[in-house]
Amino acid sequence: DAKTTQPNSMESNEEEPVHLPCNHSTISGTDYIHWYRQLPSQGPEYVIHGLTSNVNNRMASLAIAEDRKSSTLILHRATLRDAAVYYCILRDGDSGGSNYKLTFGKGTLLTVNP
């Protein structure tokens, strides 16, 4: 499975933008990049996903490098409710049918200061 590398932790101030990086240098051409987050004592929550182009939704933006070896999740204005563990996941589009499961790594613990 293609692996991702994320910083263990990051800190931000409320109302400021947050850029959460993810490296995936061994990504293949069919891998989708997914982001989930998990708030304390909650189940994971889908945030966003993309393949090649940058993506925006109501929660966040996903910026994907041209070579696809890295991506950045952007929270435009962090709030205290955004404090969570953020997981960057590659879902293999060519894994012979086993691509339905999500595999979370350690993720990035985001702390938001008031």
Partner 1 sequence: DVKVTQSSRYLVKRTGEKVFLECVQDMDHENMFWYRQDPGLGLRLIYFSYDVKMKEKGDIPEGYSVSREKKERFSLILESASTNQTSMYLCASGEGLADYYEQYFGPGTRLTVT
Question: In the complex, what is the shortest distance from the CB of residue 101 to partner 1, in angstroms, rounded to a whole number?
Answer: 4
Residue numbers at the binding site for partner 1 (CB under 8 A): 30-32, 34, 41-46, 49, 51, 91-93, 95, 99-106
Handedness of CA 77, 82, 93, 106 (dihedral sign): positive
Nearest-angstrom CA–CA distance, 8 and 108: 5
Nearest-angstrom CA–CA distance, 31 and 42: 27
Nearer to partner 1, 7 or 44 (CB): 44
Question: In the complex, what is the shortest distance from the CB of residue 85 to partner 1, in angstroms, rounded to a whole number?
Answer: 11
DSSP state of 94: T
Question: In the complex, what is the shortest distance from the CB of residue 22 to partner 1, in angstroms, rounded to a whole number?
Answer: 16
